[in-house]
Amino acid sequence: MDTQIFRMTPEEIDAQAIKSCAEIIKSGGLVAIPTETVYGLGADATDADAAAKIYAAKGRPSDNPLIIHIAAPEDAERYAHTSPLYYKLAKAFMPGPLTVILPKKDIIPSGVTGGLDTVAVRCPSHKVAHALIEASCVAIAAPSANLSGSPSPTSAEHVIADMNGRIDAIIDGGQCEIGLESTIVKLEGETAIMLRPGAITADALGCVCEKVEIAAAVTELLGENERPLSPGMKYKHYAPAAPLVLLEGEDDAVADFLVAAQSRENCAILGYSEEMPLLNNKNIIDVGARDDLATQAQTLFSALRETNSMSVDVIYAHLPTQNGLGLALYNRLIRAAAHTIKHID
């Protein structure tokens, strides 16, 4: 398949290209789209055959449901049963990086929701994504636009690497601002249960909901027979080619360990900016300053991809804090590392 590539910026939307991509969506095709979180692989959310093409293009297990993307919070009415808490969250966080799980209506085929009777709804703030959803006149089902198991794409280059020749079109809208996927919540009464952490933090949710719970699978390894609240949580994710080991310990001790590791092992290091002057520059990636979680979020997935072109035996990275945006970084990194943590004394 020939994949068309369209280039535009949020400031200068190419209306003609959006129209062409909306036609692709309406006729059951696949378009990769930039969003503020990561790139999504979009199809008509009401078309079971189009959704099936997403699973085929990604190699995604069919029980892992898709998020549907809408142009305005109230558009959820067409696809799902909303609630007052949904609208409270929408008022605070939409458009933006928050996904809410709601009971689905029949218009959403079960092939989109992995057979579940709920559907995940998000209203992205990215102007290009918004323009395409509006022009398509339908919700767009879109998981991250990577091959299943590889890091989510945060630039069009990542999407091209994974999807060129497998989908109809890619819209290159530059680098994603946030770099990690949306926060996902399930609602129970006045409680929001966080199924996946993202840029909308537990503290931010707590300003709107009476109670916020964090699902165990966000930070812990599920037992073999345990069922996660979100099917996606049971899959290995973002796995780089070499094993990833997360380091925990005092800053100085970890920095000393990294310096020693470089002379002892064939390793890659995802280090803080402050550590860069201490290390020799072979196979090191600066993920941002120690306290700059936003930059670390923006860099994480491209850093993991970059390690794939380094022939190393092991990759070291820092175990992030679980506070604020750190929880999202922690969640992605422990899964990429298959929960391998090394304590440094």
- C-alpha 123/C-alpha 326 separation (Å) is 23
Name the burial class of residue 227, with classes exposed (0-12), middle (13-18) and buried (19+) by CB atoms within 10 angstroms of its CB: exposed
**Dihedrals phi, psi of 44, to nearest 5 degrees:** -55, 120
In angstroms, the Cα distances linking 109 to 79, 80, 105 are: 10, 12, 9
Q: Cβ 289 to Mg ion, closest distance in Å?
A: 27
- Establish if 331 lies at the interface with Mg ion (CB under 5 A): no
Question: Which lies closer to Mg ion via its Cβ, residue 235 or residue 257?
Answer: 235
Q: Cβ 257 to ligand AMP, closest distance in Å?
A: 33
- Establish if 183 lies at the interface with Mg ion (CB under 5 A): no
- Establish if 46 lies at the interface with Mg ion (CB under 5 A): no
Q: Name the token pair of 212.
A: 């916020």
Question: Which lies closer to ligand AMP via its Cβ, residue 99 or residue 262?
Answer: 99
Question: Which one among 144, 155, 182, 230 touches Mg ion, defined by CB under 5 A?
Answer: 144
Question: Which lies closer to Mg ion via its Cβ, residue 8 or residue 129?
Answer: 129
Q: For residue 120, what are the β-bridge partners?
A: 67, 101
111 contact choice in Mg ion, ligand AMP, none (CB below 5 to 8 Å, kind-dependent): none
- C-alpha 340/C-alpha 49 separation (Å) is 39
Contacts with ligand AMP by CB under 6 A lie at 64-67, 101, 113, 116, 118-120, 143-144, 181, 184, 195-196, 230-232
Number of residues that bind Mg ion (CB under 5 A): 1
Sequence length of the chain is: 345
Question: 315 with 300: CB under 8 angstroms?
Answer: no
Question: Which lies closer to Mg ion via its Cβ, residue 104 or residue 196?
Answer: 196
Q: Cβ 284 to Mg ion, closest distance in Å?
A: 27
CA 32 to the chain's CA centroid: 14
Q: Cβ 22 to ligand AMP, closest distance in Å?
A: 21
64 contact choice in Mg ion, ligand AMP, none (CB below 5 to 8 Å, kind-dependent): ligand AMP
Does the N-terminal peptide bond of residue 228 adopt cis geometry, omega within 30 degrees of 0? Answer: no
Enumerate binding residues for Mg ion (CB under 5 A): 144
